[in-house]
Amino acid sequence: MRILIQNGEVVTASDQFTAEVLIDGEKVVAVGQNLGVTNADKVYDATGHLVIPGGIDVHCHLDMPFMGTRSKDDFFTGTRAAISGGTTSIIEFCIPSKGGTIKQALADWDAKSAPKACCDYSFHMAIVDWNEGIRKELDSVFERGITSFKVFTAYKGALMLSDEEIFRLMLEVKARGGLVTAHAVNGDVLTVLADKFGAEGKLTPHYHPLCQPGYAEGEATGRILELGNLAGQPAYIVHMTAKEAVEELVRARARGWESLGEVCTQHLTLDDSLYDLPDFEGAKYVMSPPLRKKADQEALWAALANGTIQVVGTDHCTFDFKGGKDMGRDDFRKIPNGLNGIEERMSMLFSYGVKSGKIPMTKFVEVTATNPAKIFGLYPQKGHISPGADADVVIYNPNKEGVISAKTHNSACDYNVYEGWKILGAPHTVFVRGKVAYENGKFVGEAGNGRFLARAAGKPQLAMV
Ligand SMILES: [Zn+2]
């Protein structure tokens, strides 16, 4: 099947130009003006539209086991939502159970992803125990094409590793050419403050962000970046939320350390006043690290615009309000952490980043697709539109007006944190490896079409300082 997209404005991480894009089968085979193609099976007229690489969301959790239940979106509804928002690849976190093996975790994650995924996907490997057994399994992780790891400095007694354990992991990962990513908030501070609020009977969602102040995030961020520097190993901070954390990343990069950062849509657009909504509605926004202040949002936007932060992710991890979030009605510490974003990331960033003048269109492509591919070993297969790349292409209507609502979203969750938010700009047609998976407001993809993406080891393919 040869598909020709004509008259669109192709956008890359560095340029924007009018060009034709020729897709043959699963690949882009030509980009240029007047390609002279006469034998296309289908021609799309993209006049007035942008033609951009499919987004890559490197931070999501689908069908994740949690407190005896599972997060609401599985690999079908989650990737359906992703594609409908213009995202065509995701990286999910494979999380071994405490005391369990990586082998078992991979078997579990393979079983729930392969039959259901509608777009391509890969896994980061979370390390929640450090012992000789896990260390010995690391080679098999790289053999699977999983080259990025995740550690937690928070969730003491559950997911948290000590500095010694993180540093040992970094040295092992360095020897194999991978990347260590971290959820960086001081876990001891969080535990003490949560216990203190609990003992004082302060149990409403209002206290959720107060357990993990910006400085507790800044401290752990600086510590992880320092450990990475000591190990000679690139370190990547996931879901940065606080200006104190941004300051640490600025300092690390100024010192020439290989330090990278990610921000999620909600931390750019939502603030902590939402925790005080009546009727327990604040629980909808409980995630960690929490929503912060407007001043933090400004610091994050500036860091995104000037290149201090390289990636926009979502941490998409949904739980219904009824039967999920309300498990913590009497105690915020029991509220399942997480919220939606996999479908809204591109439109929110386009509307409130590009259209509002905070970032240029090339930066939009860079942080939603190109940098994620370059950092996580998917470039040049993914993350840009050029000959030889997978035909993950979005024909994007920059003038389409819409309003986000749980009534119309593609997630299975019973609410949406962006309910009522106006958006300007939305995908018109989304190709997943050359196949139309979304068109004219409708998802037309299929479960099982997504393939596991084995990724290459090696340093991130972008300038890190
Ligand atoms: Zn996460």
Output the pLDDT for position 463: 77
Cα of 25 to ligand 1 centre, how many Å? 34
Cα of 183 to ligand 1 centre, how many Å? 8
Cα of 407 to ligand 1 centre, how many Å? 25
Cα of 58 to ligand 1 centre, how many Å? 10
- For residue 395, the domain's CATH number is 2.30.40.10
Same structural domain, 171 and 28: no
Q: What is the average pLDDT value for the chain, to the nearest integer?
A: 97
What is the average per-residue pLDDT within 223-234? 96
- Whether residue 301 is contained in a domain is answered as yes
Cα of 258 to ligand 1 centre, how many Å? 22
Same structural domain, 224 and 338: yes
d(CA 382, CA 388): 10
Cα of 287 to ligand 1 centre, how many Å? 9
Cα of 20 to ligand 1 centre, how many Å? 38
Output the pLDDT for position 104: 98
What is the average per-residue pLDDT within 157-165? 96
What is the average per-residue pLDDT within 176-204? 98
Q: Which tens digit of pLDDT belongs to each residue from 343-397?
A: 999 999 999 999 999 999 999 999 999 999 999 999 999 999 999 999 999 999 9
Same structural domain, 189 and 331: yes
- Whether residue 354 is contained in a domain is answered as yes
Same structural domain, 248 and 396: no
Same structural domain, 187 and 208: yes
Q: Which domain holds residue 35?
A: 2-52+382-400+422-443
Cα of 313 to ligand 1 centre, how many Å? 10
Cα of 371 to ligand 1 centre, how many Å? 19
- For residue 325, the domain's CATH number is 3.20.20.140
Residue where one domain finishes, among candidates 375, 408, 433: 375
Output the pLDDT for position 423: 98
Cα of 351 to ligand 1 centre, how many Å? 24
Cα of 92 to ligand 1 centre, how many Å? 9
Q: How confident is the model at residue 465 (pLDDT cuts 50, 70, 90)?
A: low
Same structural domain, 212 and 283: yes
Cα of 61 to ligand 1 centre, how many Å? 6
Q: How confident is the model at residue 69 (pLDDT cuts 50, 70, 90)?
A: confident
Cα of 315 to ligand 1 centre, how many Å? 5
Cα of 32 to ligand 1 centre, how many Å? 39
Output the pLDDT for position 66: 85
What is the average per-residue pLDDT within 445-456? 97
- Whether residue 365 is contained in a domain is answered as yes
- Whether residue 165 is contained in a domain is answered as yes
Same structural domain, 435 and 353: no
Cα of 155 to ligand 1 centre, how many Å? 12
- Given a cut of 70, whether residue 94 has pLDDT beyond it is yes
Cα of 104 to ligand 1 centre, how many Å? 20
Domain count, the chain: 2
- Whether residue 24 is contained in a domain is answered as yes
Output the pLDDT for position 67: 78
Cα of 239 to ligand 1 centre, how many Å? 8
Same structural domain, 47 and 137: no
- Whether residue 417 is contained in a domain is answered as no
Same structural domain, 194 and 256: yes
Beta-carbon neighbours within 5 Å of ion ligand 1:
315
What is the average per-residue pLDDT within 127-142? 98
Same structural domain, 46 and 188: no
Q: How confident is the model at residue 462 (pLDDT cuts 50, 70, 90)?
A: confident
Share of the chain above pLDDT 70, in %: 100
- Given a cut of 90, whether residue 207 has pLDDT beyond it is yes
